[in-house]
Amino acid sequence: MKTLIAVMVAALCLSTAAAHAATTSQVTRPAPAPRPLSSSVGLNRLHARTPPQSECGPRAIGVAWGPPAREFGSRMVEDQTAAEEKVRAVAKKLNITLTDPMDANLPAADQRELREDMMQLHALSQFEGLDFDRSYLTLMAAGNQKAIRLLEQAAASAQDPAVRDLAAQLLPAFQEHRTLAETALQAVAAPK
């Protein structure tokens, strides 16, 4: 009986706390609107996202254990090279110099994320065969998700319409890459 009463009191406390949290969260300030993204930062962010993924494509073609990772690597090389050419064309049109992704031109959070991504890409060299496939495809699914987030931000808030249009144009390919990476990962993870 004491246990039942204790459980009921705990449930009442939790529901009261949840109700309080729900009402106080409605009172909090709304999130600030995203600041417009400068064309230079937007293009350099896109420039920083495309080469790292395409750089490990050739390794995937040569080292991957199975066709899903090899085919995905080949597709990444082709599509990411085309994406980078589009980024370079828009940068040239807007007279924007694309910098090395690790230069100080990008916000600190972007630089930190890129350093982490580069460390993970370099760590792929430790793997071979099926272990490589799984690590590579996992990394590519996550990398494309980051790129999608960046493209959505650029499509919504870049100052220059050319950058917004480029981001909107590239977004479907990155979404497809994420799906392809996840599908290929399921294929190599499935027991034979």
For residue 56, the model assigns a pLDDT of 65
User: What's the whole-model pTM score?
Assistant: 0.72
Higher pLDDT, residue 13 or 192: 192
What is the structure's pLDDT at 81?
A: 87
What is the reported pLDDT for 7?
A: 30
Question: How far does the chain reach from its first CA to its final CA, in angstroms?
Answer: 54
Residue 37, number of CB atoms within 10 A of its CB: 22
Residues 113 and 100: their CA atoms lie apart, in Å, by 14
**pLDDT exceeds 90 at position 8:** no
pLDDT tens digit string along 146-157?
Answer: 889 989 999 998
Nearest to 59 by CA among 122, 152, 153: 122
- What is the CATH number assigned to the segment(s) 39-189? 1.20.1260.10
Tell me what pLDDT residue 181 has. Answer: 93
What residues pair up with 158 in beta bridges, in sequence order? 37
Q: Is residue 27 within a helix (H) or strand (E), and if so which, with residue range? A: helix 2-27
Q: How far is CA 119 from CA 74, 85, 146, in A?
A: 22, 25, 16
Tens digits of residue pLDDT in 104-115: 567 777 778 878
Q: Which residues pair with 10 in a beta bridge?
A: none
Whole-number average pLDDT of the chain:
75
Cα separation of 188 and 25, whole Å? 43
Domain boundaries, given as residue ranges, for the chain = 39-189
Q: What angle do CA 158, 161, 166 make, to 5 degrees?
A: 80
Most confident of 43-52, 80-89, 121-130: 80-89
Spatial distance between the Cα atoms of 111 and 30, rounded to a whole number of angstroms? 28
**In angstroms, what CA-CA distances link 24 with 11, 15, 19, 103?**
20, 14, 9, 42
pLDDT digits (tens, 9 = 90+) for 23-80: 334 444 444 444 455 777 777 777 776 655 556 666 677 778 888 888 888 888 888 8
